[in-house]
Amino acid sequence: MNLCSLRSSSRGNSAVAFTDKTKILVDCGISGKTALCCLADINIAPEELDAIVVTHEHIDHIRGVGVLCRKFNIPVYASEGTWYAMESEIGVIPRECIRVFSDVYFNIGDIEVHPFDIPHDAAEPCGYAFFSSGGSAAVATDMGCIDDGVLDALHGCETVLLEANHDANMLAMGNYPQHLKNRIKSRRGHLANDDAGKAAAELVKRGTKHILLGHLSRENNYPPLAYNTVKNILESEDIHLGRDVILDVAKKDDVSYCRDCAVV
């Protein structure tokens, strides 16, 4: 089971979960063209994609969904609420490509997909955990907090792409208008670095071996700050990098992605 972040920031997000047989794009918040470049970099042809699963309707997650779906006839999976909220944004897509899930899990090829609720200010947002005979991985971003439901959904996932959106002090001192600051730091907004650190410690105690920090704010965070904040919290819990867990930061907008690949 592999999880590779193609792009990850508050500007645009996309990742791919894949086995030898099955390839699932998680969100496409970048242009279709950029997504194709990113996929080519990891030797995945768009024709190989079995599905696009969408977490929620915010533009940094759906920008290229319609284009890719129409061009390559790729089924798009989303919760009912997300479908309603994003339909007008992604344009007309073939009827047979619309997949609204309501079950607790479903199968795409040899991957079992478990959507789970996330606390975020969207219509019906979710994260996804992926299980195959070769391991497990999950995408858990766009969360104002980590609740028990999220922790349960991620229990034992070997690789987790975890949100570390902002540094609380940078957000407080920054130029954003107050209403936006309030939205970001609310329980349905985005996860701060120190909350990501606490979540990371819980995940490691529950079996996670590789944490990839993502969805970093361009204005209110720096990769080394996110990394070190999470590292310090892990070490304060006697969790050591290398020995107990591998910690990485997903690249934001660079053109090289290989170091983002988290292979289980």
- Taking CB under 5 A as the criterion, the residue among 142, 163, 167, 195 binding Zn ion is 142
Stretch that binds Zn ion, among 58-66, 93-101, 146-154, 179-187 (CB under 5 A): 58-66
- 252 is a site residue for Zn ion (CB under 5 A): no
Binding span for Zn ion by CB under 5 A among 67-75, 85-93, 136-144, 237-245: 136-144
Of 2 and 13, which has the nearer Cβ to Zn ion?
A: 13
First to last CA, the chain: 6
Using the contact rule CB under 5 A, the part of the chain among 137-145, 169-177, 180-188, 197-205 near Zn ion is 137-145
CB of 60 to Zn ion, least distance (A): 4
60 binds Zn ion (CB under 5 A): yes
The minimum distance between CB 8 and Zn ion, in angstroms, equals 9
Q: How far is the CB of 190 from Zn ion (least distance, A)?
A: 8
Chosen residue from 6, 14, 34, 58 binding Zn ion by CB under 5 A: 58
Which parts of this chain interact with Zn ion (CB under 5 A)?
A: 58, 60, 142
